[in-house]
Amino acid sequence: MPACDFFTVETAWLKTLYVLFFIELGTRRVHVAGVTANPDSGWVTQQARNLTMELDDSSSFGFLIRDRDSKYARSFDEVFCAEGMRVLRTPIMAPKANAFAERWVRTVRQECLDWVYVEHYNRERPHRGLALATPNGPNCHTANCSYPGPVRRRDLLGGLIHEYSRAAA
């Protein structure tokens, strides 16, 4: 039985992106259906169609669990009904009714989004107040390393952050 939900991600450019995902409750397999800034009914319905084509054994699922978010159009439900599934909407203001999906969102936020930045902040990001050292101590990623050599640039977070270090001589 799959469950679905949305979660939001704030970009560095202060734009909100909506992520639609499905999680199979029996196997905990996650399918990220898509990411968009505007989850209108046409986009959401198309993602449902894409998922049913991706899942070869979608007819073996009897139910789909989803919340009562207004982003889900009637056409979204009809895609799954055409596959022989019954759409179950969770009660109002009852996040525990879709607990597996909610837990996966928490996992994504903690293990991916939060930890990626914390690791960068502590290990790689130079701080002016620390004489361009990092909270974990000085490193040779800063521009004032004592040995000469060509400077190498490494892009992080999809090119949002650039780190520079000396290449080994």
Cα–Cα distance measured from residue 18 to residue 10, given in angstroms and rounded to the nearest whole number: 9
Which two tokens mark 38?
A: 């505007």
Q: Which 3 state secondary structure label does DSSP give 63?
A: strand
Contact 74, 54 (CB under 8 A): no
Closest CA to 48 of 80, 24, 26: 80
Please report the pLDDT score of residue 19 as a whole number. 92
Cα–Cα distance measured from residue 73 to residue 148, given in angstroms and rounded to the nearest whole number: 61
User: Which residue is associated with the tokens 């198309």?
Assistant: 46
Domains in the chain with CATH codes: 2-104 (3.30.420.10), 123-166 (no CATH)
Q: For residue range 43-89, list pLDDT tens digits in order.
A: 999 999 998 888 766 557 889 999 988 899 899 999 999 988 999 99
Q: DSSP secondary-structure letter at 132?
A: T
Q: For residue range 84-143, list pLDDT tens digits in order.
A: 899 999 998 887 888 889 988 988 887 776 666 777 777 777 776 677 777 777 655 444
